[in-house]
Amino acid sequence: MTDHHPLGVAASRPLVGSLGQLARIDQFVVTGGPANGTRVIRVVNGGGLELEIHPDRAFDIGRVTFRGIPVAWMSPTGMVAPGLVDGEGFGWLKSFGGGLLTTGGLDAIGDPGSTADGTRFGLHGRFSAIPATLTRASIEGERIILEAEIRQASVHGHNLLLRRSLTTTVGSDSFHLVDTVSNDGATDTAHMILYHLNIGWPLLGPTAVISTPATAVTPENDDARASTEEWSTLTEPNPEARSLVFRHHLPEAGGSGRSVVRVENPDTPIALEIDVDASTLPHLHQWKVMQPGQYVVGIEPSNSATLAGRAVAEEQGLVPVLSAGASVSYDLDFRFSTDVPLVAP
Measured CA to CA in angstroms, residue 129 lies from 15, 85, 87 at distances of 43, 7, 9
Buried b (16+ CB within 10 A) or exposed e, 66-76: bbebbbbbbbe
Task: Say if 3 falls within a structural domain.
Answer: no
Host H or E run for residue 208: none
- What CA–CA distance (Å, rounded) separates 68 from 202? 11
- What CA–CA distance (Å, rounded) separates 179 from 127? 13
Report the pLDDT value the prediction gives residue 257, as an integer from 0 to 100.
Answer: 87
Task: Say if 51 falls within a structural domain.
Answer: yes
Task: Say if 345 falls within a structural domain.
Answer: no
Given a cut of 80, is residue 7 above it in pLDDT?
no
Given a cut of 60, is residue 2 above it in pLDDT?
no
Query: Which pLDDT tens digit goes with each residue over 199-229?
Result: 999 999 999 999 999 999 999 999 999 999 9
Residue % of the chain over a pLDDT of 90: 87
Which CATH number belongs to the domain containing residue 244 in this structure?
A: 2.70.98.10
Report the pLDDT value the prediction gives residue 342, as an integer from 0 to 100.
Answer: 44
Cα Rg of the chain, angstroms: 20
Q: Which of 10-14, 249-253, 288-292 has the lowest mean pLDDT?
A: 10-14
The three-state DSSP-derived secondary structure of 291-337 is ECCEEEEEEEEECCCCCCCHHHHHHCCCCCEECCCCEEEEEEEEEEE
User: What end-to-end distance do the CA atoms of the chain give, in Å?
Assistant: 19
Q: Which residues pair with 163 in a beta bridge?
A: 149, 180
Task: Say if 344 falls within a structural domain.
Answer: no
Given a cut of 80, is residue 345 above it in pLDDT?
no
Q: Which domain holds residue 87?
A: 9-337
Host H or E run for residue 197: strand 192-199
- For residue 222, give the DSSP letter: H
Mean pLDDT of the chain: 93
Mean pLDDT of 305-322: 96
- What CA–CA distance (Å, rounded) separates 200 from 40? 21
Measured CA to CA in angstroms, residue 42 lies from 64, 96, 322 at distances of 10, 20, 33
Q: Which of 10-14, 28-32, 235-239, 275-279 has the lowest mean pLDDT?
A: 10-14
Q: In this structure, are residues 307 and 220 in contact, taking their beta carbons and an 8 Å threshold?
A: yes
Task: Say if 79 falls within a structural domain.
Answer: yes
**Burial category of 207 from C-beta neighbours within 10 Å (exposed 0-12, middle 13-18, buried 19 and up):** exposed
- What CA–CA distance (Å, rounded) separates 199 from 187? 38
Given a cut of 90, is residue 22 above it in pLDDT?
no
Task: Say if 70 falls within a structural domain.
Answer: yes
Query: Which pLDDT tens digit goes with each residue over 80-132?
Result: 999 999 999 999 999 999 999 999 999 999 999 999 889 999 999 999 999 99
* HSE (side-chain half, CA atoms, 13 Å) at 306: 16
Report the pLDDT value the prediction gives residue 340, as an integer from 0 to 100.
Answer: 42
Residue % of the chain over a pLDDT of 70: 94
Mean pLDDT of 159-170: 97
Query: Which pLDDT tens digit goes with each residue over 29-60?
Result: 999 999 999 999 999 999 999 999 999 999 99
Given a cut of 90, is residue 11 above it in pLDDT?
no
Q: In this structure, are residues 197 and 274 in contact, taking their beta carbons and an 8 Å threshold?
A: yes
pLDDT band at 189 (very low <50, low <70, confident <90, very high): very high
Report the pLDDT value the prediction gives residue 14, as an integer from 0 to 100.
Answer: 82
Number of separate domains in the chain: 1
- What CA–CA distance (Å, rounded) separates 189 from 226? 36
Task: Say if 204 falls within a structural domain.
Answer: yes
Residue 142: φ, ψ to 5°:
-95, -5
Picking from 283, 115, 274, the residue whose alpha carbon sits closest to that of residue 215 is 283
DSSP for 12-48?
Answer: HGGG-SSGGGT-EEEEEE--SSTTTT-EEEEEE-SSS
Q: Which of 12-16, 47-51, 153-157, 238-242 has the lowest mean pLDDT?
A: 12-16
Task: Say if 130 falls within a structural domain.
Answer: yes
Given a cut of 70, is residue 10 above it in pLDDT?
no
